[in-house]
Structures are given as C-alpha cells and as structure tokens.
C-alpha cells in the first residue's frame, strides 16, 4: 500500500499526537501513584541510589573537565581585554546558568535514562509487568513512580555537583596554572553571581530537565515493543528524544528567564 | 453433553466471547463455564488462544464481544480498583513464569504478601517457606531467578501464585518442562489445593494424560470454537473426530496443525516464480 507524502505526514502527525496523549495519561497515573511513595520511602531511596548515586562519578569527572576548559578558554578571551580578574564570574555564570543543567541532563540521560528505559522495557518483555498486574500490583505505582521521582530528585543535585566541581576546575586552571589573582577570582564571583537570577534559575532549569529526561526514559520503556529489538529501539529513542527535549526546553527557559535583560 | 449448572455453582462464566488479535479472529463466539471448587481443563492445539483466554479472564485483554463473569462480576466493566480487588483473589501462573528478575526466589514468593498484607516478618517467612516447601524448592530460596531451570522457575511462580491463598488459580501450562517426578508432584499439588482449600482451578495444558487425571471437566478448543467438552471419561472415550484426534495425537484429522496458510503447493510454486515471501 503506497502513501503519498501528505498521507505520510498526516499519519506521522497523528501518531505523534497519540503518543503524546498516551504519555500524558501515563504521567497523570504515575503522579496519582506517588502517594504510595510517602508511605514506602524505601522504594524511593533504593532507586535514588541506582539513578542518582551511580551517576555521581561521571557527572563529577565531566564537570571537572568542563570547568577546566572554561578556565582556559575564558582566560584567553578575557586577558585580551585585561579582564582576567573576572574569570571566576565567567566560569561560574556559564556553569550555573547553562552548562551545569544542560550537560548534566545530557549525561544523566545517557547514564541513567537509558538504563531506566532498558530496565522497564525488559520487565515488560519478560511479562514481569503483566505478572505484577495479575498480582493486583500496579506497575505504574510500584515500578515506574519510584524511578521517576528518583530521577526528578537526583537531577538538580547532580547539576549542582557538576557546577561545583566545574568551578573548582576553573579555579585550578585559572588561579593555579595561569596566575589569576586568587582573591579576585572569588570576590568577583561572589559579587556578580546573583542568587535569584543565576542560582535559582539554574536550579529551576535542572529540575525541569530532570522531569523531562526521566519522563521520556520511563515512558519509552513502558511503551516499548516487547521484543529485544523493541527495547533496543526504545533505549535509543529515549536518549535521542531527551537530548532534543533538553536543548529545546533550554532555549525556552533561557528566553523566559534572561530574555528581558 | 452440556451439564446445566445453577449460577451459584459457577465461578467463571464466559458468554459469546469474540476476540481478535489484530485482524486474526482468535475466539468466535465461545461459551465456557467453570464450576466452583473444581478443576476445569482447557486443551487445544498450540496457538489456538489458550493463553489469550486466561488473559481475558484476568482482565488484561478486552473482548470485542461477549461477557466474562468472575464470581458474579463482569471483569471488563469493573473500575480499576475493583478489578485489582478481584485479582487479589485470583492467582495466575504465567506460561513464562514472569518472576521478578531482581528479587530472589524467597522475595518473589514474599512479594504479594508484602504488597497486600501487613504481616510481620516472621509470619511472612513462615508462609513463604511453606509455599516453597509445597513445590519442593524450600532449599532454593536464596537463588536468583536467572539461576533456576525453566521447570524450577515455573514451580516458584506457582508458589507465588498461591501465596495469597486465592479463590481461584489459572495455570498456563503448569506441566511443561517438568521431569516425571515433579510432574507427579505438581499433579498431586493441584489436586490437593483444589480438594483441601476448595480452590477453583483452570488448567491450560496439552499434556493429555496428566490433564485428564486431574480435571473434573474438560473443554477442547480449536479454531476459535469449543469443539468438545465433557468429563475426562467421556472425553477419553468420545467418538468425536476432533476429540479423538487430539487425545490420541493423530497427525490426520479435523484439528489443524498448521497456522492458517495458503495452499502448500501453490505457496512453494509461487516462490519459484519470484512471488512474495
Ligand atoms: N500480542 C499479540 N499480537 C498479535 N497476535 C497475537 C498476540 N499474542 C498472541 N497472538 C496470536 O494469538 C494466537 C493465540 O495465542 P496464544 O498465546 O493465546 O496461544 P496458546 O493457545 O496459548 O498457544 P500455546 O499452547 O503455544 O501457548 C496465536 O496464533 C498468536 O499468533
Ligand atoms: Mg499459551
């Protein structure tokens, strides 16, 4: 059966909309199921370990290198204007506003999101989710909700860790290797970084990315075609869609937060 | 051949069931009744929809026509919470076992108890060990599902299905992959559960001999229809060509061995002419 391009576009749009609708129902159901977690915090804590703690190393190491690169690049540009004293401001602002949330979200999706998708997809493939349903246990509450909230809670903390280690990296390169004044590096940073404009906005961004990435990850797993190939495709989609969603939302949020300056 | 039963003797009643998987009609107006406290077997060739039937009874699939009543409730009209309440009283043994792979054997059997009861730990331990003992796997409690053989996994799944002492158990192929000894134990276990606890059992199987020894009533399904029913004696001595073929395992007869397909010769010739796959 042949389709003309218009038919294909129409079908594609309809399918995308249907998927979005299902994903919203899914999320509403998961949110309703979150009440159980208050009664059983251990479920959440064990998932925070797998989703959050296991991502600490990759986030910290990446943060260090990004901070060091920022130190080098920033010094090159700023020293042309004799403004290397403001290196601390530049490093911290880039990290807290942009790179911390965005790069952490991308790393998080590759490290934790893909694992969540594969795990849930495989549980579906091996009928573990259906088995739970027949035992009158709602897999959305028992399996998906703890993983979702663990991801949502972990992302801002990981992004904060990324920024913190990144500032240390920038300090190490700028002050340690390139000779920027130690006092100026910190005092300029403290003076120029605004609590609301920079830090709060950065935290909001990382929280939004946490919701987006984890939502995509758990939904793709739950919606996976229950075969080996289906799970592998779902895992790929989880990472790709997360990257698009994070970068797209980053633009929207940045425009809303910093657009009127 | 049909026995007439008053409604309070029937735990599960299926009326005029029609169900499609995609384009393919799996059930075409099937009527079945499962009596309380009895073992009812469903037999039929591979791929006729026996697993599908159990999923319909459990409310995991929705019929396209007809009704399924379990203990007087229409499974597909219940609200989600009511369906879950009903499922607590149903145990289901999946064909694949469906054990939770990140939990040990002990925790798998304890899972429904932990989810649905507030029993103290020592009681849970006792219950779990009793259920595992019944299936001969008390010693395997610390193994992970990946360390079990297929037959062992099936028995752990059975222990889990009876953990909550349900009113009814749906067994999907309980005997496949069992050696003669554990097969004998399982046959006895299903019988005993049924006799002593008054459980209603629905057994899906193609092991004719074992099934006929434990069943009180047998349905034979093929091609989306009930092609035979009766007590094991009537089934074993039936003259119906459908039943005879299935019970004796003859290759020729009315029961199709092949998934629906075009004519064999025409299919082979078409390949030679560069036709479709
Ligand atoms: N998810 C599905 N989508 C489409 N068709 C399906 C699906 N599941 C099963 N079928 C089809 O439905 C038919 C019945 O499947 P089912 O698993 O119920 O058979 P069965 O009687 O349990 O067979 P077996 O004895 O081999 O376990 C099969 O022919 C299969 O091709
Ligand atoms: Mg089957």
How many structural domains compose chain A?
1
pLDDT tens digits for range A185-220 = 999 898 988 888 889 999 999 999 999 999 999 999
Residues of A in contact with B159 (CB under 8 A): none
Q: How close does chain B come to A138, measured CA to CA in Å?
A: 8
CA distance B233 to chain A (A): 33
- Residues B98, A137: C-beta atoms closer than 8 Å: no
Angle between helices B105-116 and B150-161 (to 10 degrees): 20
Q: For A19-59, how does the pLDDT look when each residue is reduced to its tens digit (9 = 90+)?
A: 899 888 888 888 887 887 888 888 889 999 988 888 999 99
From the CA of B161, how many Å to the nearest CA of chain A?
A: 8
The answer to whether position A1 is within a domain reads: no
Does residue A9 form part of some domain? no
- Integer-rounded Cα Rg, in Å, for chain A is 21
> Cβ(A221)–Cβ(A121) under 8 Å?
yes
Does the residue A44 lie in any domain?
yes
Examine residue A236 and state whether it is found in any structural domain, yes or no.
Answer: yes
Atom of ligand 1 lying closest to residue B53 CA: 18
Residues of B in contact with A120 (CB under 8 A): none
Residues near B217 by beta carbon (within 8 Å), at least 6 away in sequence = B3, B35, B38, B39, B40, B41, B229, B230, B231
- Any domain includes A88: yes
pLDDT band, residue A105 (cuts 50/70/90): very high
* pLDDT digit string, tens, across residues B233-269: 888 888 887 778 877 777 777 767 777 788 888 888 8
Q: Are B185 and B108 in contact (CB under 8 A)?
A: no
Copy the structure tokens of residue B38: 């009895």
CA distances for B168 relative to A2, A64, A202, B89, B175, angstroms: 50, 59, 55, 7, 18
The alpha carbon torsion through B124, B129, B130, B132 (nearest 10 deg) reads: 120
Strands B168-172 and B90-93 turn out to be parallel
Give mean pLDDT, residues B149-156.
86
Q: Do the domain assignments include residue A259?
A: no
What is the helix (H) or strand (E) element at residue B32, kind and residue range?
Answer: strand B24-35
Q: ipTM value, please give it.
A: 0.82
**Tokens in use for A145?**
């909700």
Contact A136 B87 (CB under 8 A): yes
A15 and chain B in contact, CB less than 8 A: no
B92–A126 C-beta distance less than 8 A: no
Closest by CA position to B25, among listed B74, B82, B51, B63 = B63
Q: Using one digit for the tens of pLDDT, what is the confidence trace for B10-38?
A: 889 999 999 999 888 899 989 999 998 89
The residue range of the domain holding A185 is 19-253
Calculate the alpha carbon distances from B225 to B32, B49, B212, B221 in Å.
10, 10, 20, 6
């Amino acid at each position: 059966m042949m389709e003309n391009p218009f038919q294909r576009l129409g079908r594609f749009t309809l399918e995308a909309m249907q998927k979005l609708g299902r994903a919203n129902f899914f999320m509403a159901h998961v949110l309703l199921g979150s009440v159980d977690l208050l009664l059983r915090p251990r479920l959440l804590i064990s998932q925070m370990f797998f989703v959050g703690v296991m991502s600490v190393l990759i986030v910290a190491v990446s943060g260090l290198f990004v901070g060091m690169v920022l130190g080098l690049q920033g010094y090159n540009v700023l020293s042309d204007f004799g403004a290397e004293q403001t290196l601390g401001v530049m490093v911290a602002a880039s990290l807290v506003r942009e790179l911390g949330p965005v790069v952490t979200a991308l790393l998080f999706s590759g490290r934790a999101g893909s694992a969540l998708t594969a795990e849930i997809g495989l549980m579906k493939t091996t009928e573990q989710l259906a088995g739970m349903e027949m035992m009158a246990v709602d897999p959305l509450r028992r399996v998906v909700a703890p993983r979702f909230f663990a991801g949502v809670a972990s992302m801002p903390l990981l992004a904060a860790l990324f920024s913190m280690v990144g500032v240390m990296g920038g300090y190490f390169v700028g002050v340690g290797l390139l000779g920027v004044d130690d006092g100026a590096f910190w005092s300029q940073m403290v003076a120029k970084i605004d609590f609301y404009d920079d830090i709060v906005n950065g935290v909001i961004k990382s929280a939004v990315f946490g919701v987006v990435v984890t939502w995509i990850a758990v939904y793709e797993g739950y919606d996976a075609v229950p075969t080996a190939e289906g799970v592998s495709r779902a895992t790929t989609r989880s990472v790709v869609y997360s990257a698009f969603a994070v970068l797209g939302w980053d633009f929207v949020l940045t425009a809303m937060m910093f657009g009127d300056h | 051949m049909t026995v007439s039963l008053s409604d309070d003797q029937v735990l599960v009643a299926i009326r005029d069931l029609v169900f499609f998987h995609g384009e393919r009609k799996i059930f075409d107006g099937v009527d079945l009744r499962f009596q309380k406290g009895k073992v009812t077997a469903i037999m039929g060739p591979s791929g006729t929809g026996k697993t599908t039937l159990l999923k319909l009874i459990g409310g995991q699939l929705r019929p396209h026509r007809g009704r399924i009543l379990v203990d007087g409730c229409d499974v597909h009209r219940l609200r989600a919470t009511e369906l879950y309440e009903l499922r607590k009283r149903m145990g289901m043994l999946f064909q694949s076992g469906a054990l939770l792979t990140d939990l040990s054997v002990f925790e798998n059997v304890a899972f429904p108890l932990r989810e649905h009861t507030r029993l103290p730990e020592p009681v849970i331990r006792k219950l779990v060990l009793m259920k595992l003992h019944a299936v001969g796997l008390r010693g395997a409690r610390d193994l992970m599902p990946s360390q079990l053989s297929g037959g062992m996994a099936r028995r752990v799944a059975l222990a889990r299905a009876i953990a909550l002492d349900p009113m009814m158990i749906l067994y999907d192929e309980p005997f496949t992959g069992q050696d003669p000894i554990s097969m004998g134990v399982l046959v006895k276990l299903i019988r005993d559960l049924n006799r002593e606890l008054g459980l209603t059992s629905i057994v899906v199987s193609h092991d004719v001999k074992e099934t006929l020894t434990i069943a009180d009533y047998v349905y034979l399904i093929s091609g989306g229809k009930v092609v035979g029913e009766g007590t094991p004696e009537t089934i074993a001595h039936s003259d119906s060509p459908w039943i005879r073929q299935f019970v004796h395992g003859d290759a020729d007869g009315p029961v199709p061995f092949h998934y629906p397909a075009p004519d064999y010769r025409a299919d082979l010739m078409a390949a030679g002419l560069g036709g479709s796959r």
